[in-house]
Amino acid sequence: MKRILKEWEGAIMSGISYMIPTVIGGALVVGVPQLIGMCFGYGDLSKFAKTGGFFHLLYQINSVGWIGIGLVNLVIGGYIAYALGDKPALGAGFIGGQLATNNQLGFIGAIAAGLIAGYVARWCRKIKVPEKWNSAIELIVMPLLTVGSVALFVGVVLTPPLAWLNNGLTSWVKFMVEQKTNAILLAAIMGAMIGSDLGGPINKAAWGVGNFFFIEGIYQPCLYTNIAICAIPMGYALMSFIWPKKRFSAELLEMGHNNLIMGTFGITEGAIPFMMKAPQLIIVNVIGGALGSAAGAWLGVKSHIPPLGGLPGILTADNILAYLGGILVCALFIAIVAPLVADFTDKDSTPGEESMSDDDIELNIQ
Binding residues vs other proteins (CB under 8 A): 6-7, 9-11, 13-14, 16-17, 20-21, 79, 82-83, 198-201, 204, 267, 269-270, 272, 276, 352-353, 355-356, 358, 360-366
Of residues 209 and 295, the one with the C-beta less far from other proteins: 209
Residue 105 CB, nearest approach to other proteins (Å): 23
Enumerate the β-bridge partners of residue 248: 344
Residue 319 CB, nearest approach to other proteins (Å): 28
Measured CA to CA in angstroms, residue 187 lies from 32, 288, 305, 315 at distances of 26, 12, 19, 20
Of residues 135 and 357, the one with the C-beta less far from other proteins: 357
CB 154 within 8 A of CB 98: no
Residue 4 CB, nearest approach to other proteins (Å): 12
How far is residue 10's CA from residue 6's CA, in Å, rounded to a whole number? 6
Residue 5 CB, nearest approach to other proteins (Å): 11
Of residues 135 and 364, the one with the C-beta less far from other proteins: 364
Other CB atoms within a 10 A radius of the CB of residue 156 amount to: 9
How far is residue 133's CA from residue 137's CA, in Å, rounded to a whole number? 6
Of residues 250 and 361, the one with the C-beta less far from other proteins: 361
How far is residue 334's CA from residue 219's CA, in Å, rounded to a whole number? 26
Of residues 3 and 245, the one with the C-beta less far from other proteins: 3
Residue 96 CB, nearest approach to other proteins (Å): 17
Strand (E) positions, 248-350?
A: none
Of residues 45 and 255, the one with the C-beta less far from other proteins: 255
The helix/strand/coil state of 179 is coil
Residue 362 CB, nearest approach to other proteins (Å): 7
CB 90 within 8 A of CB 81: yes
How far is residue 296's CA from residue 323's CA, in Å, rounded to a whole number? 6
108 burial type by CB count under 10 A (0-12 exposed, 13-18 middle, 19+ buried)? middle
Residue 209 CB, nearest approach to other proteins (Å): 14
Of residues 13 and 28, the one with the C-beta less far from other proteins: 13
Of residues 176 and 267, the one with the C-beta less far from other proteins: 267
Long-range contacts, stretch 278-284, CB < 8 angstroms, 24+ apart: 278/341, 278/342, 278/343, 278/344, 278/351, 279/351, 279/352, 279/355, 280/341, 280/342, 281/338, 281/341, 281/342, 282/195, 282/196, 282/197, 283/341, 284/333, 284/334, 284/337, 284/338, 284/341, 284/342
Phi first, then psi: give them for residue 348, nearest 5 degrees: -110, 115
Residue 360 CB, nearest approach to other proteins (Å): 7
Residue 199 CB, nearest approach to other proteins (Å): 5
Of residues 198 and 301, the one with the C-beta less far from other proteins: 198
How far is residue 88's CA from residue 76's CA, in Å, rounded to a whole number? 16
